[in-house]
Amino acid sequence: MTPQRLTRLEQNQRNRELLLAAARRVFLARGYHAATLEQIADEAGFSKGVVYSQFESKADMFMALLAQRIEQRAAENSRAVEGASGAEAIARLRDQALRREESEYDWGLLLIEFRVHAARDPELNRRYAAAHARTLEGLQGVIGAVYERSGETPPLPPRQLAQFILTLSVGTRLERAVDPDAPGNSVAFELLTRITGPHAPSLDGAGQTRRLA
């Protein structure tokens, strides 16, 4: 049977997916600044013209890669906390972050490199800030839904817990980039576990997690 030919829309989508997969490999291997669109095109087996038919620039390609990763992380976070109470959900998110730290260490460094680059470009910084806001809002939504479902009041507002988790992840990556022997997320997330554990202070200072009426 003759294989069915892809429509133009399907071909464009396939090309985009192949380019993003190639971009991830090249960015991780070379870093954001050293990577070029020519290298990414070669990695994907395309001409540079195909790259420009999908992306306006290297930064545009990286932002598309980041958007893809944000969606993947959001789905992973939702699956991780299924059926969990508030404190247990935070512990699961902690464990997932620890696994990511080990398996995606190079991605974390790449993201930090791009953050610094974007900070010097107002328009790119605006786009990156919007992407970061989606990450934060997604994590906040997962945490808020868990506490609402379990009937517990979180020891901190869900947005602050989400900010805390993201800040810990970035901070420990920076420390390990300077000192590979520096404590990783395990120490930082131990503090988070104590804050959110069953005996953590509640918002009213009662010393235990309050229940919603």
Amino acid at 41: A
Using the predicted structure, report yes or no on whether residue 203 has a pLDDT greater than 50.
no
Are residues 8 and 75 located together in one domain of the fold?
no
Question: Taking residues 22-37, what's their average pLDDT?
Answer: 97
The per-residue pLDDT for 38 is: 96
Length of the chain as a residue count = 213
pLDDT tens per residue, range 92-105 = 887 887 777 777 88
- On whether both 189 and 84 belong to a single domain, the answer is yes
CA distance 115 to 129: 9
**Bridge partners, residue 152, by sequence:** 211
9 & 91 share domain: no
Domain boundary among 35, 55, 75: 55
d(CA 2, CA 107): 41
User: Is 140 found in the same domain as 203?
Assistant: yes
CATH number for the domain harbouring residue 38: 1.10.10.60
CATH number at residue 146: 1.10.357.10
In the structure, what pLDDT confidence band is assigned to residue 87 with cuts at 50, 70 and 90?
Answer: confident
Residue-wise pLDDT tens digits, 66-80: 999 999 989 999 999
Q: Within this chain, do residues 106 and 172 fall inside the same structural domain, yes or no?
A: yes
pLDDT at position 164 is: 84
Residues 182 and 97 in one domain: yes
Query: What is the DSSP-derived secondary structure letter of residue 208?
Result: S
Check pLDDT > 50 for residue 168.
Answer: yes
Question: Quick one: 51 and 67 in the same domain?
Answer: no
Q: Which residue range is the domain that position 48 belongs to?
A: 1-55
For residue 151, the one-letter residue type is G
pLDDT over 80 at 183, yes or no: no
Contact 12, 54 (CB under 8 A): yes
Say what the pLDDT of residue 195 is: 64
SS (H, E, C) 152-207: ECCCCCHHHHHHHHHHHHHHHHHHHHHCCCCCCHHHHHHHHHHHHCCCCCCCCCCC
State what percent of residues in the chain have pLDDT above 90.
Answer: 48
Closest C-alpha to 77, from 63, 62, 94: 94
The verdict on 110 and 190 lying in the same domain is yes
Same domain assignment for residues 118 and 195: yes
Residue 126, pLDDT > 90, answer: yes
1, 26: one domain: yes
What is the count of structural domains for the chain? Answer: 2
Q: Give the model's pLDDT for residue 207.
A: 35
Where among 55, 76, 95 does a domain terminate? 55
Query: Given 27, 55, 83, which residue is the final one in a domain?
Result: 55
The distance from CA 201 to its chain's CA centroid, rounded to whole angstroms, is 29
List the structure tokens of 211. Answer: 């229940």
What's the pLDDT tens digit per position in 31-80?
A: 999 999 999 999 999 999 999 999 999 999 999 999 999 999 899 999 99
Supply the pLDDT for residue 189: 62
Q: Is the pTM of this model over 0.85?
A: no
